[in-house]
Amino acid sequence: MADAVYLDYNATTPLKPAVYDVMAEAFGDVGNASAVHAYGRRARSRVETAREQVAALAGVHANQVTFTSGATESNNAVLKHFAGRRILIGATEHNAICNCPVDLELIPVDQDGLINIDAFEKMLETGPAPALISIMLVNNETGVIQPVAKLAKLAKAKHRDVFIHSDAVQAAGRIKIDFPGLYADFMSLSAHKMAGPQGVGALICAPGTPSVAFMHGGGQEKRQRAGTENVAGIAGFGKAAELAIADMAHYQQLGVWREKMERALKEAAPGCKIFGEGAPRTANTTALCMPGLPAQTQLMTLDLAGIAISSGSACSSGTFKPSRVLQAMGASEEEATSTLRISSGWNTKESDIDAFIDHWTAMVRRLLPQSEKESA
Ligand code: PLP
């Protein structure tokens, strides 16, 4: 599409050209990273370079990085390890946490999507000691940033042995990640949310944590994750991690454009609402609710205009069920089915944001009765 506008970076991101180049080079080569010959050693070197690069992004030592097939696998590995014991998770976690087939207790959030501290403390004080608490660093639908370090410290002060996991998929490349500063024991990352390839991710573990090995077979990844390494994917992930560190400044710019966009949308339709607006958010995400205009209608209208956005998480788009995340934040069913997610990234230009503002405001003027535009 010649003038296509892609604003769905929280679903997946375009590869950066340098990532593509590193992967193309790896695909052009042969070699199992476990083989001892020169080909194998070259593949191994690609994997270990990537490990250093991902470790630098997370602020950890390379031996704390285990490559996986993505964040779904990383999340599942941690949660399943603690199956049968008490596990607390944030109410707005991704399906890759919520749908894991283990018993989970939801920690309520407030209307901005932040963990409700009083409710959290009460959960820590009642019932058996939790074995694991999983709280995402950044929400995929709203961009809301949870104070993971504060919550982890609070939990560990009450229960010394509790393990903390954080799904940091939507934080990587968008805000600085300092794993030791989060006071977490495990953290999940995914390459394709940060200009890397789909189907590769990582689990970061604090020193001394138990093995949460999930795949069994060969001795790859220090016996943490069996299976021949996806060398090209891992190499691309590493390059993406390296570039993400340098690219953080672009997110300042995205924040300026986002502010301009949100102001323009509210001026054009005073009845619209932005979820998570009162909380710290990543600079690239807006959850925009226009009551009276179903997200499905908005998505299709904008798609015809060449604008790619999403409603809620990618996993539930297409089904158009009310967003579970927004409902946990107190949204009505109508609000939770009338919300779009606009998410920008490394290759977004100001003209993309301007095109969205123009098409969205024209759509609202065309499709929504005057009374609804003005009342929330
Ligand atoms: N966690 C969050 C917050 C996500 O946004 C996603 C992707 O949508 C995932 C986990 C799943 O990641 P992956 O696609 O690498 O399995």
Task: State yes or no: pLDDT of 348 exceeds 60.
Answer: yes
Integer Cα distance of 71 and 167 in angstroms: 8
- The whole-angstrom separation of Cα 53 and Cα 56 is 5
**Model confidence over 220-259: pLDDT tens digits?**
999 999 999 999 999 999 999 999 998 888 988 999 999 9
User: Do 51 and 167 sit in the same domain of this protein?
Assistant: yes
**Domain final residue, candidates 229, 246, 263:** 246
Domain co-membership, 124 together with 41: yes
Domain stop point among 246, 264, 279: 246
CA atoms within 13 A on the CB side of 205: 22
Clarify whether 315 is annotated catalytic.
yes
Same domain as 9, residue 69: no
Atom of ligand 1 nearest to the CA of 136: 3
Q: How confident is the model at residue 214 (pLDDT cuts 50, 70, 90)?
A: confident
Q: Which of 98, 205, 272, 315 is catalytic?
A: 315
Domain boundary among 218, 246, 274: 246
Q: If you count them, how many residues does the chain have?
A: 376
pLDDT in tens, 20-66: 999 999 999 999 999 999 999 999 999 999 999 999 999 999 999 99
Q: Within this chain, do residues 361 and 262 fall inside the same structural domain, yes or no?
A: yes
Mean pLDDT in residue range 320-345: 94
Choose which residue among 9, 54, 140 to substitute to test ligand 1 binding: the one with the highest number of ligand atoms within 8 A of its C-beta: 140
Render 312-373 in DSSP notation, one character per residue: S-TTTTTTTPPPHHHHHTT--HHHHTSEEEEE--TT--HHHHHHHHHHHHHHHHHHS-HHHH
Q: Are both 224 and 346 inside the same structural domain?
A: no
How far apart (Å, rounded) are the C-alpha atoms in residues 149 and 147? 6
Reported as a pLDDT band with limits 50, 70 and 90, residue 370 is low
Give the residue-averaged pLDDT of 157-162: 97
Domain holding 313: CATH number?
Answer: 3.90.1150.10
Same domain, yes or no: 52 and 179? yes
Q: How far is the CA of 169 from the centre of ligand 1 (A)?
A: 6
Q: What is the pLDDT of residue 97?
A: 98
On the question of pLDDT at 369 being above 90, the answer is no
Q: How far is the CA of 178 from the centre of ligand 1 (A)?
A: 19
Tell me: the pLDDT tens digits for 260-277? 999 999 999 999 999 999
**Ligand 1 binding residues, C-beta < 6 A:** 70-72, 94, 96, 136, 140, 167, 169-170, 190, 201, 313-314
Residue-wise pLDDT tens digits, 66-76: 999 999 999 99
Domain, as residue range, for 183: 17-246
DSSP state of 303: H
Residue having the nearest C-alpha atom to atom 16 of ligand 1: 72
Q: Pocket of ligand 1, candidates 78, 165, 188, 190: which has the most ligand atoms within 8 Å of its Cβ, to mutate? A: 190
Ligand 1 atom nearest to CA at 74: 16
Structural domains of the chain, count: 2
Same domain, 239 and 263: no
Same domain, 359 and 330: yes
* pLDDT at residue 316 greater than cutoff 60: no
Q: State which ligand 1 atom lies nearest to the alpha carbon of 314.
A: 8
Give the domain CATH number at 80: 3.40.640.10
Given the CA of residue 191, which atom of ligand 1 is nearest to it? 15
Q: Are residues 263 and 209 in the same domain?
A: no
Whether residue 131 sits in one domain with residue 279 = no
How many Å apart are CA 108 and CA 111, to the nearest integer?
10
Residues 63 and 210 grouped into a single domain = yes
Which amino acid type is present at position 184? Answer: A
Please list the residues that pair with 109 across neighbouring strands: 115
Return the residue matching tokens 């020169």.
38
Q: What pLDDT shows up at residue 315?
A: 43
Q: Which of 100, 193, 324 to mutate to test the pocket of ligand 1 (most atoms within 8 A of CB)?
A: 193
What pLDDT does 313 receive?
A: 42
Residues 257 and 224 in one domain: no
